[in-house]
Amino acid sequence: MNNKQMQVKYRCPSNIALVKYWGKKEGGIQLPANASISWSLSDLFAETTMIATTEVGPKLTFTFKGESKPSFEPKILVFLERISEYSEFVKTHNFIVDTVNNFPHGTGIASSAAGFGALAMCIADLEGRFENGSSEFYERASFFARLGSGSACRSVYGKPAVWGEHPEIANSSDMYAVPFEKEIHHSLSNWKDCVLIVDDGEKKVSSTQGHALLENHPYAAARFENAQKNIGKIANYLQNGDVSNFIALVESEALQLHSMMMSSIPYFTLIRPNTLAILEEIWAFREETKLPLAFTLDAGANVHLLYDKQYETEISNFIDNKLLVYCKNGLYLCSNIGGTPQKIT
Ligand code: DP6
């Protein structure tokens, strides 16, 4: 066989879930216990260069910003191994990968979603099975991304993305995310996300460990049922522009996620005192100004502020005057909502 090398580079955004994925189904790899929906964050992304080669060598040569990062390799190797089952191309090639995030690592922003999303796009492209940009192509990339990290499968679409079977979402699947195709009401179509960095340390309990604790969780069944209901509700709010119910649902989802952590056996907390202080400030600010500002939380202490872009000045003043004191080193990162992965070279 002639040795061949192919190279590609993709940028893929991170995403933030509005209805959360927390808990996996048995009987497969990375199958969600309930459907989730997210917004992608166009300004917080990973850029990944991938070379696929048939030359003899290690399955994976990985660098982060050009420097070797052995701690990242096992997860990517598992990812490649899982994909090999479905892709002859991945089985028969070795990969040289360099990746970089445009946000600091360890800030609690879903770097694995952006990172695995970008890797999956590179593979779907190099594999060449479906035409780049076709719906089959995105579906394949989303399917691959899921095998790296569940939430990553929602990152390949610029539109809001739904992952997990749901009776009210056409073509929804546990295997990959699908774009939310319904038209979004103008009052919810132009929002931003500012992530307030409360804690930038390593998490005490990883998401993967957290998901596993849902297996014998006393409230798991009720949580999954409620999340399914919330998907139906939020799909309506996104279309009819019911902003106040949207905000109430998104905040309730964030708090349910953390309540599930606090009621796991063993229990744990990821929120910090400053997380709660920020939530109190947000509620007081909303009461006073009536502006459409919501928070959500990921599996960590940081707070995502979601708000309509037309109130950017007011929210920015609010952050500077009231919230900055709770941020580690005064750090927060803002992004527009939306943003499809892009092929760079
Ligand atoms: C709290 O996708 O990081 O962010 O599938 O084990 O890699 P694995 O977990 P991961 O879980 C993310 C959970 C969450 C909520 C969400 O993004 O839906």
Mean pLDDT within 5-15: 96
Tell which atom from ligand 1 comes closest to the C-alpha of 24. Answer: 5
* Most informative mutation of 31, 211, 213, 230 for ligand 1 (most atoms within 8 A of CB): 211
**Of residues 187 and 109, more confidently modeled:** 187
Q: Is 17 in the pocket of ligand 1 (CB under 6 A)?
A: yes
Asked if residue 1 has pLDDT above 60, the reply is: no
Dump pLDDT digits (tens) for 192-249.
Answer: 999 999 998 778 899 999 999 999 999 999 999 999 999 999 999 999 999 999 999 9
Query: How confident is the model at residue 106, as a pLDDT?
Result: 66
Nearest CA to 211 out of 224, 222, 197 is that of: 224
Dump pLDDT digits (tens) for 269-313.
Answer: 999 999 999 999 999 999 999 999 999 999 999 999 999 999 999
**Of residues 20 and 108, more confidently modeled:** 20
- Contact in structure between 159 and 179 (CB atoms under 8 Å): yes
Nearest CA to ligand 1 atom 7: 149
What band does 111 get if pLDDT is binned at 50, 70 and 90? Answer: confident
Dump pLDDT digits (tens) for 151-204.
Answer: 999 999 988 999 999 999 999 999 999 999 999 999 999 999 999 999 987 788
Distance (angstroms) between ligand 1 centre and the Cα of 8 equals 27
Residues 6 or more apart whose CB falls under 8 angstroms from that of 339 comprise: 13, 40, 41, 42, 43, 45, 158
In angstroms, rounded to a whole number, what is the distance separating the alpha carbons of residues 144 and 76? Answer: 12
* Most informative mutation of 21, 34, 44 for ligand 1 (most atoms within 8 A of CB): 21
Nearest CA to ligand 1 atom 12: 151
- Contact in structure between 210 and 22 (CB atoms under 8 Å): yes
Dump pLDDT digits (tens) for 307-344.
Answer: 999 999 999 999 999 999 999 999 999 999 998 899 99
Which neighbouring-strand residues pair with 157? none
Q: Is 30 in the pocket of ligand 1 (CB under 6 A)?
A: yes
Distance (angstroms) between ligand 1 centre and the Cα of 25 equals 13
Q: What whole-number percentage of the chain has pLDDT above 70?
A: 98
pTM for this one? 0.97
Tell which atom from ligand 1 comes closest to the C-alpha of 148. Answer: 7
Q: Is 231 in the pocket of ligand 1 (CB under 6 A)?
A: no
- Contact in structure between 36 and 71 (CB atoms under 8 Å): no
Distance (angstroms) between ligand 1 centre and the Cα of 150 equals 6
